[in-house]
Amino acid sequence: MESKIVDARGMACPMPVINTKKVLEAIEEGSVTTFVDNEAAKDNVIALANSMGCGVDVQHEGNEYRIQITKKGTNINLGEQTADTDNTTIFISSSEMGRGSSELGDILMKSFMFTLVESEKAPQTILFVNGGVYLTCENSPVLDHLVNLQNRGVEILSCGTCLDYFKLKEKLAVGQITNMYTIYEKMDSADKVISL
């Protein structure tokens, strides 16, 4: 396993991300430890690692962050994913299910996520936009279900613009941050899109 270090302390955006990306792309598998000294760089390096399907561990000391990124060889999980998921994308644009009663909407969303976890074939991707991003953040009532689905190979993607708008970026607790281009790409390439 290769192990590389990127010292991006003192570097302005976007250099910490670009330097980390180059090192990550150059290795087949292994770990890259990036040191940064500001929060924006830390957030962006984490987002990069997530977008490349890598594991991330962050340690914070004073003004400095040590971000350990683990890259696994490609296709390691592909077999599992294709066995357990089908090419369906679920598009969730609210933290509640349906209109009428907010309280009932919360209950229905919990029930929906529980049903997804229990179902034999999970979707390939779940997209969260607008108020839906509350579901992927800390204190979400369905966080355990989403973590469970992620462990089964389901891709959990939250809209970055939406997380920014609700000031939730720091609180994202499951899955990765995405952009509108990827959201459209996922919907376009899916065999079936279920919109809630």
Partner 1 sequence: MITKDMTILDIVDKYPETIDVFQAYDKTHLTCICCTSLFETLENTVSMHNLDLVKLLSDLNKTLQKINIEE
Residue 118 interacts with partner 1 (CB under 8 A): yes or no: no
Residue 177 interacts with partner 1 (CB under 8 A): yes or no: yes
Residues 126-145 that bind partner 1 (CB under 8 A): none
> Smaller CB distance to partner 1: residue 14 or 55?
14
Residue 164 interacts with partner 1 (CB under 8 A): yes or no: yes
Q: Taking CA 29 as the corner, what is the angle to CA 25 and CA 32, rounded to the nearest 5 degrees?
A: 70
**Number of residues in contact with partner 1 under rule CB under 8 A:** 19
Residue 56 interacts with partner 1 (CB under 8 A): yes or no: no
Q: Interface with partner 1 by CB under 8 A: which range of 58-66, 83-91, 129-137, 173-181?
A: 173-181
CB of 38 to partner 1, least distance (A): 8
> Smaller CB distance to partner 1: residue 51 or 70?
51
Return d(Cα 70, Cα 132) in angstroms, integer: 29
Q: What does the binding site for partner 1 look like in residue numbers (CB under 8 A)?
A: 13-14, 17-18, 21, 40-41, 44, 47-48, 51, 160-161, 164, 177-181
